[in-house]
Chains A and B, each alone.
Chain A
């Protein structure tokens, strides 16, 4: 029997066509296939468009090419808007280096339904267990848990209640987009997923479905730690510091902002990060005081 709900998979890509093919192959062969696969091409320059042309014979694949690179945040913003406009009941988000196991989507959908039945309330999202290529847990994509995280496990379900997660395999119901809007595209990169998942769990938690597994092929298995700042990865950290500072101050208060500042300084010191980089990041911390974008809402079309 065909599923009652429709799902649009959203894959955001930028100059990683080899990994993208792998991701799309995994998405297209799901046991519960998505109804649409929206690939948001962030103005790639490595021939991604030619690679994507091969997939366009599949009616489910929609390529949404942006005129300029808008970062992961802008890509997910555009993809979720498109998914909402074509009438999807759920959007399933991932990066272009995420390889879902064949039953990952089926397990997410079933896990969310079971969890909602058990909790007798609508939940905000369902996310997968994210593993690194070596089978270890992926350090960067661990969700934060609620105080009663084991409530569903006590009822025999293989799911954990969570407060925030990354955009590496997460399923959002349409109503969440209607109620809370879209990710903040102004974040460009980093912390956009945390901000969004924290925003949407204001009314009800999310759930991590342990049986839904994806592999995140991200090169090095490291979480976010300001001790790791180098001139090469500085760009991401610059956005990360500004975005998190903005979130802590404007959504959690001065205490959270100061706490974040102390963590930043402590980690920079422990990593012996060069002073010019430290100064740059502290300036970004200050930028967060005036940087406070507001969410936009998707448009109902179908």
Chain B
């Protein structure tokens, strides 16, 4: 499936005049891989929209490891570059976006220099912290991850306590009730999707699903990301019929407006669906001022500790958002009960069957003889706290050497740290797996899944584990209580988490009846949860309504 989609040419808003090394016409001569090629096409689409009818020459650079794409920011207008960038391709195009009377195309060829960055990798936010402050944090975190985490949780408690009940300023709604004629268009119907990035994540999985559904119901998805990233998922088949524009910042405000104007003039925009995109939140007032009737839906997954993240942004912008889609009861209650949004504006539609069918829980018996397999599935990031899993594994191994087997399945910025800690804790029985092995395969081996995250909405891993018939030990955060047995919910603070999780897993190994009861409770909860409205049919109906 993936391979097939990778051969499919991405949608282009330009006419190709000439190319070298990109691989859009002659795949034998290509210097770029599929991800890099799609990034270049994304940049070309952006500039084709921003300068309708113009001829553009792109010089494509590749950077060293640790650099990220530069596609739409101010730097693309400079025709010199640092010594460590290598020119790997060139592209000459003509924008097929029709200029309006208001926008005259520039004469001659416009030269642009874009970078596809280094190899595809995750941005290590801790490594990127600048100055002495960053050095101190990095060192403390590496030498004493659990103690560092304990401090972070203390800080979280403090900020949450102080911020409880704090009201948020709200963006004034747009009072314009009629669009001006210059934006009326007979173009193909389209929906703008605002994504954080195209990387592994629950929110991104749901975003891609909505993009797939939009294409299926007959609208062109216009996918805009705003976060610095290698965007490894840009080659996903769900994006095959989409126009993908990975924005890089800082952008020139004039170019931003030109880009959006290009979209409005080329497509018949029927709606906007946000999936954690700060840039698009900021442009909502402008878009609403031009298209006052355009429906705006915002999908929310998680309330970040300390900042509340996109949830608070969504509340601030509620005057410009028609529906706040939330994926968990906890978020619904937060938006209505804490933030005072009208209940009719908040739509709960769950992702219960997004990656797996929880109504078909696998019937499996836990092996009594072999080692008890304890599994971590998720991104290797600070939020998921993989180092706590390692510490838990060390504790269990010390409690009963040889009784346990450990698997960590995932990838992410803390991958290196995981290997170092594995050596430090002498966890020879711990296996680290990457995306080359299917999660479903790991779950068939698991006796218990551990989710030590310090923050979550409602993890897709919990659904997948339930479908595989595996009990989950999780921190009691977000809406995890919606799925996890009460007895398997653990405190968020690291030391208390380690004590509780270890005790529960040891009980599982010594008391099979308790293991069975916990799993049964989890299945009952999943069954009840599955009765809540599902996101997939809701969003399909929504887009069909936008088409009418």
* A residues neighboring B (CB under 8 Å): 85, 87, 122, 174-179, 299-302
CB pair B334 A178 closer than 8 Å: yes
Chain B residues contacting A301 (CB-CB under 8 Å) are 329, 479, 481-482, 525
Nearest residue (CB) in B for A173 is: B337
CB pair B329 A175 closer than 8 Å: no
Please report the C-alpha to C-alpha distance between residue A87 and residue B482 in the assembled complex, in whole angstroms: 11
CB pair A300 B336 closer than 8 Å: no
Chain A residues contacting B481 (CB-CB under 8 Å) are 85, 299-301
Out of A87, A177, A302, which one reaches B337, CB within 8 Å? A177
Nearest residue (CB) in B for A175 is: B337
Chain A residues contacting B338 (CB-CB under 8 Å) are 178-179
Chain A residues contacting B528 (CB-CB under 8 Å) are 302
CB pair A87 B336 closer than 8 Å: no
Q: Kindly state whether residue B330 has any CB partner on chain A within 8 Å.
A: yes
Report if A302-B529 is in contact (Cβ < 8 Å); known contacts: A178-B338, A179-B338: yes
Q: Kindly state whether residue B34 has any CB partner on chain A within 8 Å.
A: no
CB pair B329 A179 closer than 8 Å: no
Query: What 0/1 readout, one digit per residue, does chain B (509-548) give for beta carbons within 8 Å of chain A?
Result: 0000000000000000100110010000000000000000
Please report the C-alpha to C-alpha distance between residue A179 and residue B337 in the assembled complex, in whole angstroms: 5
- Most chain B CB within 10 A, of A122, A174, A300, is at A300
Q: Kindly state whether residue B333 has any CB partner on chain A within 8 Å.
A: yes
**Minimal beta-carbon separation of B324 from chain A (angstroms):** 15
Chain A residues contacting B337 (CB-CB under 8 Å) are 174-179
Query: What 0/1 readout, one digit per residue, does chain B (324-335) give for beta carbons within 8 Å of chain A?
Result: 000011101110
CB pair B336 A175 closer than 8 Å: yes
CB pair B333 A174 closer than 8 Å: yes
Chain A residues contacting B328 (CB-CB under 8 Å) are 300
Chain A residues contacting B479 (CB-CB under 8 Å) are 300-301
Chain A residues contacting B333 (CB-CB under 8 Å) are 174-175, 178, 300
Chain B residues contacting A175 (CB-CB under 8 Å) are 333, 336-337, 340, 343
**Minimal beta-carbon separation of A218 from chain B (angstroms):** 33
Chain B residues contacting A178 (CB-CB under 8 Å) are 333-334, 336-338
- Most chain A CB within 10 A, of B165, B337, B338, is at B337
Please report the C-alpha to C-alpha distance between residue A302 and residue B533 in the assembled complex, in whole angstroms: 11
Please report the C-alpha to C-alpha distance between residue A302 and residue B458 in the assembled complex, in whole angstroms: 12
Please report the C-alpha to C-alpha distance between residue A19 and residue B329 in the assembled complex, in whole angstroms: 36
Please report the C-alpha to C-alpha distance between residue A299 and residue B480 in the assembled complex, in whole angstroms: 10
**Minimal beta-carbon separation of B396 from chain A (angstroms):** 28
Residues 320-369 (chain B) with a chain A CB within 8 angstroms = 328-330, 332-334, 336-338, 340, 343
**Total interface residues in chain B, CB < 8 Å:** 20
**Minimal beta-carbon separation of A125 from chain B (angstroms):** 14
Nearest residue (CB) in A for B336 is: A175
Chain A residues contacting B529 (CB-CB under 8 Å) are 302
Residues 169-216 (chain B) with a chain A CB within 8 angstroms = none
**Minimal beta-carbon separation of A98 from chain B (angstroms):** 27
B contact patch SS: helix
Q: List 6 A-B contacts (CB under 8 A).
A: A85-B481, A178-B334, A300-B329, A301-B479, A301-B481, A302-B528
Nearest residue (CB) in A for B332 is: A300
Please report the C-alpha to C-alpha distance between residue A302 and residue B350 in the assembled complex, in whole angstroms: 11
Please report the C-alpha to C-alpha distance between residue A177 and residue B334 in the assembled complex, in whole angstroms: 11
- Most chain A CB within 10 A, of B328, B334, B336, B476, is at B336
Residues 116-160 (chain B) with a chain A CB within 8 angstroms = none
- Most chain A CB within 10 A, of B329, B338, B340, B532, is at B329
Nearest residue (CB) in B for A202 is: B165
CB pair A302 B336 closer than 8 Å: no
Out of B343, B476, B532, which one reaches A302, CB within 8 Å? B532
Chain A residues contacting B525 (CB-CB under 8 Å) are 301
**Minimal beta-carbon separation of B528 from chain A (angstroms):** 6
Residues 359-402 (chain B) with a chain A CB within 8 angstroms = none
Chain A residues contacting B482 (CB-CB under 8 Å) are 300-302
Please report the C-alpha to C-alpha distance between residue A24 and residue B329 in the assembled complex, in whole angstroms: 30
Chain B residues contacting A300 (CB-CB under 8 Å) are 328-330, 332-333, 479, 481-482
Chain B residues contacting A122 (CB-CB under 8 Å) are 340
Chain B residues contacting A87 (CB-CB under 8 Å) are 329
**Minimal beta-carbon separation of B155 from chain A (angstroms):** 19
Nearest residue (CB) in A for B528 is: A302
Please report the C-alpha to C-alpha distance between residue A301 and residue B165 in the assembled complex, in whole angstroms: 22
Please report the C-alpha to C-alpha distance between residue A132 and residue B333 in the assembled complex, in whole angstroms: 37
Please report the C-alpha to C-alpha distance between residue A301 and residue B440 in the assembled complex, in whole angstroms: 26
**Minimal beta-carbon separation of A67 from chain B (angstroms):** 15
Please report the C-alpha to C-alpha distance between residue A175 and residue B346 in the assembled complex, in whole angstroms: 13
Please report the C-alpha to C-alpha distance between residue A119 and residue B163 in the assembled complex, in whole angstroms: 28
**Minimal beta-carbon separation of B333 from chain A (angstroms):** 4
Chain A residues contacting B340 (CB-CB under 8 Å) are 122, 175
Other CB < 8 Å A-B pairs besides A174-B333, A300-B332, A300-B481, 5 of them?
Answer: A174-B336, A175-B343, A179-B165, A300-B479, A301-B481
Please report the C-alpha to C-alpha distance between residue A87 and residue B529 in the assembled complex, in whole angstroms: 11
Please report the C-alpha to C-alpha distance between residue A301 and residue B350 in the assembled complex, in whole angstroms: 12
**Minimal beta-carbon separation of A97 from chain B (angstroms):** 31
Please report the C-alpha to C-alpha distance between residue A85 and residue B529 in the assembled complex, in whole angstroms: 11
**Minimal beta-carbon separation of B478 from chain A (angstroms):** 9
Chain B residues contacting A299 (CB-CB under 8 Å) are 476, 481
Please report the C-alpha to C-alpha distance between residue A301 and residue B482 in the assembled complex, in whole angstroms: 4
Chain A residues contacting B532 (CB-CB under 8 Å) are 302
Chain A residues contacting B476 (CB-CB under 8 Å) are 299
Nearest residue (CB) in A for B476 is: A299
Nearest residue (CB) in B for A298 is: B333
**Minimal beta-carbon separation of A78 from chain B (angstroms):** 13
Please report the C-alpha to C-alpha distance between residue A122 and residue B343 in the assembled complex, in whole angstroms: 11
Please report the C-alpha to C-alpha distance between residue A10 and residue B343 in the assembled complex, in whole angstroms: 23
**Minimal beta-carbon separation of A173 from chain B (angstroms):** 9
List 10 tightest A-B contacts by C-beta distance, closest first: A178-B337, A300-B330, A175-B337, A300-B329, A178-B333, A300-B333, A179-B337, A299-B481, A301-B482, A301-B481
Query: What 0/1 readout, one digit per residue, does chain B (452-493) give for beta carbons within 8 Å of chain A?
Result: 000000000000000000000000100101100000000000
**Minimal beta-carbon separation of A190 from chain B (angstroms):** 27
Please report the C-alpha to C-alpha distance between residue A85 and residue B336 in the assembled complex, in whole angstroms: 16
Please report the C-alpha to C-alpha distance between residue A85 and residue B330 in the assembled complex, in whole angstroms: 10
- Most chain B CB within 10 A, of A174, A176, A179, A301, is at A301
**Minimal beta-carbon separation of A199 from chain B (angstroms):** 12
Please report the C-alpha to C-alpha distance between residue A299 and residue B329 in the assembled complex, in whole angstroms: 9
**Minimal beta-carbon separation of A197 from chain B (angstroms):** 17
Please report the C-alpha to C-alpha distance between residue A122 and residue B482 in the assembled complex, in whole angstroms: 27
**Minimal beta-carbon separation of B186 from chain A (angstroms):** 41
- Most chain B CB within 10 A, of A85, A177, A179, is at A179
**Minimal beta-carbon separation of A82 from chain B (angstroms):** 12
Chain B residues contacting A174 (CB-CB under 8 Å) are 333, 336-337
Nearest residue (CB) in B for A176 is: B337
Chain B residues contacting A179 (CB-CB under 8 Å) are 165, 337-338
**Minimal beta-carbon separation of A178 from chain B (angstroms):** 2
Chain A residues contacting B334 (CB-CB under 8 Å) are 178
**Minimal beta-carbon separation of A164 from chain B (angstroms):** 20
Nearest residue (CB) in A for B165 is: A179
Nearest residue (CB) in B for A84 is: B333
**Minimal beta-carbon separation of A120 from chain B (angstroms):** 12
Please report the C-alpha to C-alpha distance between residue A177 and residue B529 in the assembled complex, in whole angstroms: 21
**Minimal beta-carbon separation of B88 from chain A (angstroms):** 51
Nearest residue (CB) in B for A85 is: B481
